[in-house]
Structure 1
Amino acid sequence: MKSIYSKLLALVFIASSVYSYAWGLTGHRIIAEIAQNHLSGKAKREIRKMLGKERMAYWANWPDFIKSDTTGVWKETSAWHYVNINPQTDFAAFEKNLKAQAGANLYSQINVLASQIKDKKTSEKDRRIALIFLIHMMGDLSQPMHTGRSEDLGGNKINVTYFGEKTNLHSVWDGKLVDSQKYSYTEYAKLLDIKSKDEVKQIQQGTLENWLYDSHQIANKVYAQTPDGSKLSYDYQYKFNDIMERQLLYGGLRLAKFLNDLF
């Protein structure tokens, strides 16, 4: 990973008005904000050293913003945001398929980034960039279509209309379902983050592989109920809003657990 720290802030503000990927601006910030509220004392201190005074939500979308960079420096990171897996019969089959994936992907790179952050030989700048990517990609993990199928690029080739607007299935899950609720990211984080300590602990159980399988199973449900050409509106919100909110909450709580364990 190359250090281009001098471009970091400029790219955030240039690209923020152009692109919205993955969970979209609101979704990624919700996940980061919920995670921030569940960090251990040590994790808070270490993250503050790396990111400064800004909350994690401030940086949560940067790995999407840099997709607008024309230098080619970040081109290799595009594949880090997803892992394509066809429907699997059970967790064992899913895990085997997941670990057999060739090339960089969401699963492999989360592990690489964690190792870079732990490695004392990694420069401060590269540790910072690795942390920013990790915050974002752990959010991607909970977006079902980021564990979708290769033949349709995680739903990007499945054409639908959403309240009469032509779009695709991936975009519906990236931001349209979230933004339809008209909450700010801080409002939504506050509304969702209401689980008891025992419930939080339960949600945070499992491994990275378990969490990816969780999203993969939801992706299969989404595919089954959203064929190409679907006309989506209030009934679709009724079917999937609770699941969308679950994924935002789980994404935030599991990001916190991953960071607490990392530090």
Structure 2
Amino acid sequence: MKLNLIKRIALGLALLYLPAQAMAWGTNGHRICGQIADSYLTPKARKAIQAILGNESIAITSNWADFIKSDPKYGYLYNWHFINLEKEMTNSELQEHLKNDTTADAYTKINYLVAELKKKTTSKADRLLALRMVIHIVEDIHQPMHTGHFADKGGNDIKLTWFNNPTNLHSIWDSQLIDFQQLSYTEYVAWINHTTLAQRNEWQKAPLSQWILESNHLAAKIYAGVKDGDKVNVYRYNFDYIGTLNEQLVKGGVRLAGLLNQIFG
């Protein structure tokens, strides 16, 4: 019993120091995607989601999967947040990779979670976990560094300076670019959530593999834009990438809504 307690404490401490690769989008980024998704739900999906989440909104529940990393019993979820792709892939290369993918990663687990939510026999507790996780992971994979390289932990090992403060490439895309705009998540959504029906239809009809491919191609460009040790010109970096960042946030929300509408439609 004493040994098991020591192991649990050690695992808990290890989880606290896991690299931030599993933290795609910071708190505001996830809430932005969740709030956007909420605006495109069908009445039927909204009712079904409310029955599972109760009074908790999609925007708020979207951070649950990061918050529970402090609990060792959820350590098995760590690899679900990302999919490592060691190079910029063509569509055919990615399709071949995914066809043979048997690991616990964002691709395999989104498919698993969707299946669990569609099953009538899934328990109430498991349905809540599945919904919270699918919301979070769909948002995650629209942060390009969540299709980054295993060798550098999705950009976590690429050390940079941002306003004279030490950071890393992954963290810049998680939160620092978003925080630089100095907006609340609701203000941010009001700024960027202006899609047309044609855009939403196009983004939502794309399969999960296309979402990953897009992020993978963006990650390649992001990697090429800096090197380890760089002092980032924040204003220039913001100018170069804010459009890409905002489109990924909107796509993440729109596609999440499409997936939830399909699950609960």
When normalised by structure 2's length, the TM-score is 0.89
Letter in 1 for 2:261: N
1:102, CA displacement in angstroms? Answer: 3.9
Shift of 1:238: 1.0
From 52, 59, 67, the counterpart of 2:54: 52
Structure 2 residue 49 is matched with structure 1 residue 42: no
The residue aligned with 1:7 is: none
Q: Is the 8 A contact 1:159 1:230 kept in 2?
A: yes
Deviations for 1:78-113, whole angstroms, at most 9, x for unmatched residues?
A: 000000012244111012123323420011111111
1:149-183 CA deviation, whole Å, 9 max, x = no partner? 11101001111111111011001111000111011
Q: Aligned runs of 1:221-260 on 2, under 5 Å?
A: 221-232=221-232, 233-260=234-261
* Secondary structure of the structure 1 residue equivalent to 2:73: coil
Q: 1:216 — aligned with what? A: 216
User: Where in structure 1 are there 5+ consecutive unaligned residues?
Assistant: 1-14
Kept in 2, the 8 Å contact 1:142–1:248? The answer is yes
Q: Distance in 1 between matches of 2:186 and 2:212?
A: 26
CA distance in 1, matches of 2:102, 2:227: 28
- Counterparts of 1:37 and 1:127 in 2: how far apart (Å)? 22
Match of residue 146 from structure 1: 146
Q: Give the conservation status (yes or no) of the 8 Å contact 2:89–2:217.
A: no
Counterpart in 1 of 2:194? 194
Match of 1:11 in 2: none
- CA drift of 1:54 comes to 2.2
Is 2:126 aligned against 1:115?
no
RMSD across aligned positions (CA): 1.5
Give the letter aligned to residue 242 of structure 2.
N
Question: C-alpha separation between the residues in 2 aligned to 1:89 and 1:63?
Answer: 28
- 1:220 and 1:56 map into 2 onto residues whose CA distance is 30
Report the Cα distance in structure 2 between the residues aligned to 1:50 and 1:191, rounded to whole angstroms: 29
Distance 1:89 1:147 in 2: 11
Q: For the Cα contact (< 8 Å) 1:34–1:193, is it kept in 2?
A: yes
Map 1:126-141 onto structure 2 (within 5 A): 126-141=126-141
Aligned to 1:31: 33
Of all paired residues, the percent bearing the same amino acid is 40
Query: Displacement, 1:231?
Result: 1.3
The answer to whether the 8 A contact 2:45-2:261 is kept is yes
Query: TM-score, normalised to structure 1's length?
Result: 0.89
Q: Which amino acid aligns with 2:231?
A: K
Distance 1:78 1:89 in 2: 24
CA contact (8 A) 1:39 1:260 kept: yes
Cα shift readout 1:202-232 (whole Å, capped 9, x = no counterpart): 2222100011111111001000112111211
User: How far 1:76 sits from its partner (Å)?
Assistant: 0.6
* Structure 2 gaps, min length 5: 1-15
